[in-house]
Amino acid sequence: MASNSTLRRLRRLRRDRQAQSESDLTYVIYVSVMLLLIVGVPIIRTAVLGLATPDVLALVAGPAAPAVLAAITGLLFAALVVLGRTRGPALMDPFRSVVVASNHLPRRHTLRRPFLVSASQLVVALAAVALILASALAVAGAATALSVIAFVAATVLIGIFASIAWLLGQSVSTQASQRVAAVLAVVSLGTAVIPGGLVATPWGWIALLYPSSAFVAWPALGALAALVILAAFAIPRLLDSIRGPELTAQAQRWSSAATFSATADLAGAFAEFRSLPTVGRRWRAVQNVPTPVVMFVRDLVGSLRSPERPIVAALSLLVAGFLLASTSSVPATVAWAPALLGGIFAFLALGVWSDGFRHASDTAVGVPLYGFGVVKEFALHATLPAVGVIVFVGSGALAASVAGASLLSAAVAVAFALFVITVRMMNATKGQMPLELLAPIPTAAGDLSGMLIVLWQADALLLISVASIVLASTWLSAPLLLATLPVASTIVLWLASRNIAAAR
């Protein structure tokens, strides 16, 4: 009782400190409702009608859709366990985190509210996606209303279970979270391809409840509900297991990232979440070998000292290769979707092996450190990402060719990923954002300075997105794409050289 009364007093003091009036809360609710009606409803309607088209329906209502859903759900669980080490569900602002971490109150009480808020947000997001997908199947006549209701209910249960997995990642050590995530990823992929494997896992049960015109697998829904109820009993113990220093470190990290983002410094915001080296401190990164091998080994050792980064990069490149090559095996009207996702995955994954480009860009404005020029240094640092593209993107593209894609499209996927490396070079040479972009640009439509800042920050990602959509265009043949990509790479490298020249 003493703990509850103390907690109530702390919450009352916090509310008095914030001094949020009822009118402010009413305004927030009003803006949220209007945004949902004006922006959200048309987007949801467009998404439902787009999924209900025959070309897309052939994919989402195909026989392989439940297995794909099971694999995606299992990988979501694994990703949330890893995410818990960076941003857990029981997270507050730095002030309250310090108060919670330094008092005697049980964390099952002090951290319960932020956990419930984060879990609710995750459940609502997953339920919205499930409702859109199920509604499209119902509109197309491929699912009954009862199967839609059962699927959305199962998604809510999966969302609750996923939030508990997210909390598990926050309450255990980094090594434990990595092991659990690896096991979840392997099991989810294995049960998705093994006949009868969907019956053995929670993400398989939601796949059995995938909306269709057949009967509803009520036993799977009951088993999922029972499992969620049992897992909920572990929430208090998991909350109590969260360590105070890690709680305050997460809060401070996200607060610093928000400050960097507010000043349009996205590079500084992302740098807050870069994992510190955990292994290989005694590995020799410099050997008595030829210079190209030295650079390759040095960059490789530097990335392996934070093992989770290259592992995630390798898996992302595998997925990117599969998606980029599969554009030739899906209907032309939806080929842009795997191409866009594959290009974005490749760009983000190659950032792990682009530290050498950033180092070369920083040293380009000074005296050469290695006895050779900037061009050679960039070329030497490109060895590691190029090998990663050939090995992992090539493997994913070959897997897509086994699944029905053409070998020529697999070659295009590898060539496009090599083009992404040059975009990474250009992105590394941008330097700091010009202060002129922060100046207001008043127009009749409002201040456009924010748009220019976004364009400057995301120019590389926008370039990759446009190039990915062009990659899926039916009016460009594969041989023409293979001939065009070197030209595009040359233009991008020329832009990178201009950035270096301007920095000098």
If asked whether residues 137 and 41 sit together in one domain, one would say: no
If asked whether residues 66 and 44 sit together in one domain, one would say: no
Percent of the chain with pLDDT strictly greater than 70: 86
If asked whether residues 234 and 164 sit together in one domain, one would say: yes
Strand partners, 443: 446
Q: Is 346 a domain residue? A: yes
- Concatenating the DSSP letter of every residue in 146-200 gives HHHHHHHHHHHHHHHHHHHHHHHHHHS-HHHHHHHHHHHHHHHHHHHHSTTGGGS
The domain total for the chain is: 3
Higher local confidence (pLDDT), 147 or 194? 147
Q: Is 433 a domain residue? A: yes
Question: Is the overall model pTM greater than 0.95, yes or no?
Answer: no
pLDDT of amino acid 21: 47
pLDDT at residue 354 is higher than 80: yes
Distance CA 47, CA 45 (A): 5
pLDDT at residue 131 is higher than 80: yes
If asked whether residues 171 and 310 sit together in one domain, one would say: no
Distance CA 242, CA 167 (A): 9
Mean per-residue pLDDT, 406-426? 90
pLDDT tens figures, 53-79: 776 777 777 777 788 888 888 888 988
CA distance readout (Å), 328 to 21, 216, 325, 440, 446 = 56, 34, 7, 45, 43
If asked whether residues 381 and 295 sit together in one domain, one would say: yes
Lookup result for tokens 């960059």? 299
Name the residue type at position 84. G
Name the residue type at position 376. K
If asked whether residues 426 and 301 sit together in one domain, one would say: yes
* Segment (H or E) for 28: helix 22-35
Q: Is 8 a domain residue? A: no
pLDDT tens figures, 260-300: 776 666 666 677 667 677 776 777 767 777 777 888 888 88
If asked whether residues 230 and 87 sit together in one domain, one would say: yes
Q: Do 298 and 327 touch, CB atoms closer than 8 A?
A: no
How many alpha carbons fall within 13 Å on the CB side of residue 77?
A: 27
Q: Is 255 a domain residue? A: no
- Residues 6 or more apart from 35 whose CB is under 8 A from it? none
pLDDT at residue 1 is higher than 50: no
Q: Do 274 and 128 touch, CB atoms closer than 8 A?
A: no
Last residue of a domain, one of 29, 51, 73: 51
Q: Is 124 a domain residue? A: yes
The closest of 434, 394, 433 to 416, measured between CA atoms, is 394
pLDDT of amino acid 417: 92
If asked whether residues 330 and 422 sit together in one domain, one would say: yes
If asked whether residues 169 and 309 sit together in one domain, one would say: no
pLDDT category, 369, cuts 50, 70, 90?
low
Structure tokens at 419: 């083009």
pLDDT of amino acid 18: 55
pLDDT tens figures, 175-234: 888 888 888 888 887 877 777 777 778 888 888 888 876 777 788 888 899 999 999 999
Distance CA 106, CA 382 (A): 51
Mean per-residue pLDDT, 7-15? 65
If asked whether residues 116 and 240 sit together in one domain, one would say: yes
Domain range enclosing 44:
21-51
Lookup result for tokens 């409840």? 209
Distance CA 309, CA 247 (A): 22
Distance CA 405, CA 335 (A): 12
Q: Is 328 a domain residue? A: yes
Distance CA 356, CA 378 (A): 8
pLDDT at residue 440 is higher than 80: no
Distance CA 325, CA 320 (A): 8
Distance CA 182, CA 75 (A): 9
Distance CA 414, CA 219 (A): 45
Higher local confidence (pLDDT), 314 or 12? 314
Q: Is 323 a domain residue? A: yes
Q: Is 469 a domain residue? A: yes
CA distance readout (Å), 408 to 328, 393, 416, 421, 480 = 9, 14, 12, 20, 11
pLDDT at residue 337 is higher than 60: yes
pLDDT of amino acid 368: 66
If asked whether residues 93 and 213 sit together in one domain, one would say: yes
Distance CA 455, CA 449 (A): 10
If asked whether residues 443 and 360 sit together in one domain, one would say: yes
Distance CA 264, CA 276 (A): 24
Name the residue type at position 419. F
- Tell me if residue 323 falls in helix, strand or coil: helix
Q: Do 429 and 493 touch, CB atoms closer than 8 A?
A: no
